Amino acid sequence: MSRLTSWTRSDPASAGHLAAFNFRRVEPGWYLLTNDWGKFLMLDEGDFRRLMTGPINSADALYPRLEAGGFLRERLDFKALASSYVKKNSFHWFNGPSLHMIVVTLRCNQKCQYCHSSVVDPSRTDTDMDLETARRTVDFIFSTPNPTICIEFQGGEPLLNWPVVKFITRYAQAKARASKRKLIVALVCNFTLMTEDKLDFLLEHHVSLCTSLDGPAELHDKNRPFLGGGLAQAKVVGWLEKIQRRCAGEPGKKHYLPGALMTTTRFSLPYAREIVDLYVSLGMDQIFVRPLSPIGYAKRVWKDIGYGTEEFVSFYEKALDYILELNISGRSKIMERMALVLLTKILKGEDPGFMDLRSPAGAVLGCLAYNYNGQIFVSDEGRMVDHQGDPMFLVGDVAGNSWSEVVDHPTTKACVAASTLDNQPMCWQCAYKPYCGAEPVFHYETQKSVWGQMPSSAWCRSHMGQFDVIFRKLRDPKARAVFEEWMERDQCRWQENEEIAAGEFMASGSVPA
């Protein structure tokens, strides 16, 4: 059986009554059916066999389920299916990227084992973004057409170029106010260089904060040591707790509670529960169980810190099972971020804004990465490929190119074509097609082509594995109830955040209650 799973020859199928759909035998006993419009059905083997071997009578109990999902050729509601398509692919109609990642410096005070950013020594001030480049970068960002802009500071360690972080924040907020555009500013940093003054500025200017927290100290410090050695985790946890206390204590700041991401390395694999326990103990409302991608520097050290896709999927499932156990028992309400992303697509038929799982992918269309020197890349991963000496994903420069030139760049078009799943020979027949994506930079780095070769793609294996996990959990009523409660809570969180986005806040000039 191939990775798409098979229909055995013993039952000759009859296709005449079937609408367009893909299927997958997720596990023995049942099949998953999906279609381009995001509808899904889980059928036991008997029902699936009946569907495949002959027309289903309208009096059959299965009939209304098939009809409602658009799986019966003679009963298609074209308008409703078109509406579903529009909703699930809402980003198709967006005016350009909303996420702009600005790398304000490559300098860093840590030497993380897997660092994509290919960081440099803190003495390398030639890799700091200067003020003029910063200004041009913000001007370029505001020349892109999306009415909502999210600026995310990255590095290296962005706090090492603090004056430029402040300038960009203030300048972007002034431009957002003047042009009446919605602006969100976010800072991704290691927290080890945080001070009270910096925190004052960040909270006052409504900058969202996010850090990396890989797990308990022995794991985090192995993954993310200080340059020259030293223990970092205690500092990260200390600042997380401090910022949480500040946000809890100040009116209107609860929406700026800091977030944290973990990156899974080989060293993480035995510690799924311990990692989750740490996040729970810190009162985090989410954990993002993220795989490591063999891109940029991580590719060089993959032998030492990497793992197989099956190992990651197993780790993911262990972590998710434990998280579900905590939710079901009432001990914690922590949510898993990737599950939220997938469930938003599956259960709500909406796009959650996750760039990598879009068709076409978010490269350029949804996000751009700006290097310290003003060069523009299709994504942060594309920028990392450039650090290895390959400028394949460079699509412009803030000093010399317009937004339309970036969109018209051949690399942009190649990434868009390659990540449109109807062009992908395996994806177009996959049951996960309506919810998945094929990331061109990942495939270029691992398979030497933006198109990739899906049967042997680690990206494909990993995501198929995670989808399998999610759909298996959806068959369990208790797990499903937890997932639905997460959806509800996540929706409320976004609705609350909508009211006090930075640009709008400053434009109104009033302090929210």
Partner 1 sequence: MAARKKKKTPARKTAALKAKAPSPVFSSGDVVFRLNVKTEGLEPILGAAYLMTDVSYVRLDGAASRTIEVRLEPKAGPEALPPKVLAKRFADELSTQRLRWAIARQNVLVREFIAEQAVLLASGRLEQAPAPAQDGAADALSEEQRAEIEKLISEVEDEIRTMNEKKAASDPKNIKASWEEKQEAGKTRLGEGGA
Partner 2 sequence: MKHEFDLKQGSVGLTAPKALYSRDALGIAAHIFAGRAEVYLEEAPRVWRLTLKARRPGGEPELRALAGEFLNELLNQQYRFLVSRFNAKISNLVVAQTLLSARGGENPSALAAEEQAPEFQAEVDKMMAEARVEIERTMPARIVPQGNPLPPAPEESLG
Alpha-carbon gap, residue 330 to 72, rounded angstroms: 41
CA-based torsion, 83, 87, 88, 91: positive or negative: positive
Q: Which is nearer to partner 2, 180 or 478 (CB)?
A: 180
Q: Which of residues 391-430 bind partner 1 (CB under 8 A)?
A: 425-426, 429
Under rule CB under 8 A, residue 448 binds partner 1 = no
Please report, as residue ranges, which positions from 91 to 110 form the binding site for partner 1 (by CB under 8 A): 92-93
User: What is the rounded distance in angstroms from the CA atom of residue 156 to the CA atom of residue 110?
Assistant: 9
Residue 311 burial by Cβ neighbours in a 10 Å radius (0-12, 13-18, 19+): middle
Q: By CB under 8 A, what part of segment 1-20 binds partner 1? A: 1-9, 12-20
- Which is closer to partner 2, CB of 81 or CB of 458? 458
HSE value, Cβ hemisphere, 13 Å, CA-based, for 211: 27
Among 246, 285, 428, 487, binds partner 2 (CB under 8 A): 428
Retrieve residue 75's tokens: 């009963």
Q: Are 148 and 181 in contact (CB under 8 A)?
A: yes
Residue keyed to tokens 């995001």: 38
Angstrom distance (rounded) from CA 351 to CA 338: 13
List the interface residues with partner 2, window 43-102 (CB under 8 A): 91-97
Which one of partner 1, partner 2, none is in contact with 417 (Cβ closer than 5 to 8 A by kind)?
Answer: partner 2
Binding flag, residue 137, partner 2 (CB under 8 A) = no
Q: Shortest Cβ distance from residue 460 to partner 1 (Å)?
A: 9
Under 8 Å between Cβ of 179 and 212: no
Cis peptide before 360 (omega within 30 of 0): yes
Residues in contact with partner 1, shown as a per-residue x/- string from 450 to 479 under the rule CB under 8 A? ---x-xx-----------------------
Among partner 2, partner 1, none, the one that 81 touches (CB under a kind-dependent 5 to 8 A) is partner 1
- Applying CB under 8 A, among 37, 40, 312, 451 the residue interacting with partner 2 is 451
Task: Check binding of 195 to partner 2 (CB under 8 A).
Answer: no
With beta carbons less than 8 A apart as the criterion, state whether 208 and 256 touch.
yes
The one-letter amino acid at 150: C
Rounded-to-integer distance, Cα 16 and Cα 13, Å: 9
Q: How far is the CB of 450 from partner 2 (least distance, A)?
A: 10
Could you tell me which of 148, 150, 169 has the C-alpha nearest to residue 158? Answer: 169
Minimum CB separation from partner 2 for residue 149, in Å?
11
CB atoms within 10 A of CB 303: 7
- Asked if 242 is part of the footprint of partner 2 (rule: CB under 8 A), the reply reads no
By rule CB under 8 A, what string of x and - marks binding of each residue 30-69 to partner 1?
------xx--------------x-----------------
- Position 303 contacts partner 1 (CB under 8 A): no
Give which of partner 2, partner 1, none residue 76 binds (C-beta under 5 to 8 Å, depending on kind). partner 1
Query: Residues near 513 by Cβ (< 8 Å), separated by ≥ 6?
Result: 251, 252
User: By the criterion CB under 8 A, which residues form the site for partner 1?
Assistant: 1-9, 12-22, 36-37, 52, 73-74, 76-83, 85-86, 89, 92-93, 425-426, 429, 453, 455-456
